[in-house]
Structure 1
Amino acid sequence: MDKLLERFLHYVSLDTQSKSGVRQVPSTEGQWKLLRLLKQQLEEMGLVNITLSEKGTLMATLPANVEGDIPAIGFISHVDTSPDFSGKN
């Protein structure tokens, strides 16, 4: 199976459903599980300056592979699913 597809299918198999009424962020252990997995994979891919905050913000830098001053790009996402829908399977 294609590695990208394999990773995607693993990510969506994790239960990251938000929990209503919880004052902590992320609101579930499933969300932390995905964040820790993503952090590990970023490390394995050679990214640097990897940080995972107590609020679940995961940041990393992919060093440039070309010379010169080039624009940076950022990707933003979240790891939870709505509490209104099941995050299982």
Structure 2
Amino acid sequence: MKDKPEHKEGLSRRKMIPLLGSSLLLPILGLGQTEKVIPENMEEEYEILLRADGKAVKVKKSSIENAKVVKKGLSNSSLLRWLGKKL
């Protein structure tokens, strides 16, 4: 008669299914979560300014204070020419 095949001591399908199932439970249990990073400067002040086309833009006050003034009293047409836009 034929001999039964030898049983290998490796990882069988029956042993693999519980491992896969338990790995799928890790996110549900919260073990796979990462820490949420909270920005430190959440209380930075903003100022609402108008663009040339009339849209409102939210700008940080610190960036306004640190801005370099190119020319005071600049007309709209010269600014648009400097930007390369047509009137």
TM range (shorter): under 0.3
Could you state the TM-score of these two structures normalised by the residue count of structure 1? 0.26
Q: Looking at CA atoms only, which structure, 1 or 2, has the larger radius of gyration?
A: 2
Q: Normalising by the residue count of structure 2, what TM-score does the alignment of the two structures yield?
A: 0.26
Q: Looking at secondary structure, tell me which structure has more helix per residue.
A: 2
